[in-house]
Amino acid sequence: MIISAVDVDDLSAGAALLGSGGGGDTTTLADLLRYTLTQYGPVRLIDPTQLPAEALVVPVGAAGSITVMLERLPSGREFVQAVHQIGHHLETQVAAVHGFEIGGANALVAVAAAAWTGLPLVDGDGMGRAFNGIDQVTFNAGGLSATPIALADPSGNQMLISSQDNSSAERLLRAAISAMGGWAANAIYPMRASQAAEHAITGSYSKAIALGRKLRDAQHRPRARVGMLTASSADLLFSGTILEVLRYLPPRTGATLSIEHHNDPRRTLRVEMADEYLLTIDDGQVTACVPDIICLLDTRTWQCITTEDVTAGRHVDVIRLPAPSQWRTSSAYHLVAPASFGLRLLEPLLGRSTEDIYS
């Protein structure tokens, strides 16, 4: 399979949905990716089993603020430098780049990086959606090291990070990004192809493109919405009007939304969010919970609404896509459980400890 310029709109739509309200805006990145694929040609999408077991594959993405990146657009050189820096450090030629985060802008960034480097892209990622932390990936759950991490910024600065554990790598990366102007290309979690096959969420790109194609059809043909939900194993949880957005004061991040049901004003949905939507509570009953993929769509257009864009008065449909199965294991779940987002006090509403849900 290849990803060409004609697939960009579908990938952008699918990545926006899988962002669960986060992951950064995909619209401008879609324009950049379309131009890149037109200039460099299509990207070959491969399964990790198509590579020799010992072949080096490197997940790539943009670390830092996507908003800042849109102000300082990548030239492509940053990603070439980051990938080559990993190969040079490990004294091994990189055989392929790999997706890191299929939700949001980083899904498109990895495709562009494959085009810029001339390497194939492994059809997989480490999240199956969007999360904020570099340790919130199935690679970490599988015992892989995030480091060495190679960074390269638009000004030509490069950095290599080594750390004793992945939690430390997260802290060091955030500090480095601040010093590098707000964003940098990163090559992270270098691994063998056999490890990618074992620990990645495979098929992410082909699934995101198919999902985006269904979503775009539903946006243009409202009658196709039920079919899209069924085909995607998704549920329509709620339709209503946002009554209130209560944003938390620092140091806490995120907000709580209150949504009044369109047909029953006595019924209210509460949505907890940070960088992504985390939890929905329908009159005291939890109906979706991270790592489920919770999405708010504009009722009229079915365009995705990010956590940054939620405002009172908007008419929304709230849908839930099931979490990737890799997160439903005891070894992985703790990385993305509600408690990891500061929601431990809401565990009584779940009926039992979140740590036991997937054990």
Residue pLDDT, tens place only, 131-177: 999 999 999 999 999 999 999 999 999 999 999 999 999 999 999 99
* Across 204-219, average pLDDT: 98
Does residue 211 form part of some domain?
Answer: no
Does residue 214 form part of some domain?
Answer: no
Q: How far apart are CA 220 and CA 91, in angstroms?
A: 50
Q: What radius of gyration do the chain's Cα atoms show?
A: 20
Of the candidates 204, 225, 256, which is a domain's last residue?
Answer: 204
For residue 30, the model assigns a pLDDT of 97
283 in the same domain as 159: no
Q: How confident is the model at residue 250 (pLDDT cuts 50, 70, 90)?
A: confident
276 in the same domain as 158: no
283 in the same domain as 185: no
pLDDT digits (tens, 9 = 90+) for 287-317: 999 999 999 999 999 999 999 999 999 999 9
Task: With CA atoms as reference, report the closest residue to 144 among 199, 201, 204.
Answer: 199
241 in the same domain as 187: no
251 in the same domain as 173: no
What mean pLDDT value characterizes the chain? 94
Does residue 209 form part of some domain?
Answer: no
Domain count, the chain: 2
CATH of the domain at 60: 3.40.1610.10
For residue 356, the model assigns a pLDDT of 45
Token pair belonging to 217: 């059809």
238 in the same domain as 185: no
Model-level pTM?
0.94
Q: What count of residues does the chain have? A: 359
Residue 125: how many other CB atoms lie within 10 Å = 30
Q: How far apart are CA 315 and CA 300, in angstroms?
A: 8
The answer on pLDDT for 354 being more than 50 is no
8 in the same domain as 145: yes
Q: How far apart are CA 359 and CA 357, in angstroms?
A: 6
Of the candidates 204, 223, 251, which is a domain's last residue?
Answer: 204
* Across 6-25, average pLDDT: 97
Does residue 111 form part of some domain?
Answer: yes
**Which segment of 144-153, 244-253, 316-325 scores lowest on mean pLDDT?**
244-253
13 in the same domain as 148: yes
Task: With CA atoms as reference, report the closest residue to 32 among 78, 89, 93.
Answer: 78
Quick check: 153 and 44 in contact, CB under 8 A? no
Q: How far apart are CA 99 and CA 120, in angstroms?
A: 11
Does residue 229 form part of some domain?
Answer: no
CATH of the domain at 331: 2.40.390.10
Does residue 287 form part of some domain?
Answer: yes
For residue 183, the model assigns a pLDDT of 96
177 in the same domain as 32: yes
125 in the same domain as 273: no
Does residue 317 form part of some domain?
Answer: yes
Bridge partners, 122 (sequence order) = 46, 98
Q: How far apart are CA 269 and CA 271, in angstroms?
A: 6
What is the domain extent for residue 244? 234-347
250 in the same domain as 199: no
What is the residue-wise DSSP string for 166-189? HHHHHHHHHHHHHHTTSEEEEE--
159 in the same domain as 92: yes
Q: Are strands 235-247 and 315-321 parallel, antiparallel or unpaired?
A: antiparallel
Q: Which residues contact 43 (CB under 8 A, 6 or more apart)?
A: 2, 3, 4, 37, 111, 114, 115, 120, 121
Does residue 212 form part of some domain?
Answer: no
Quick check: 20 and 103 in contact, CB under 8 A? yes
Token pair belonging to 263: 């047909």
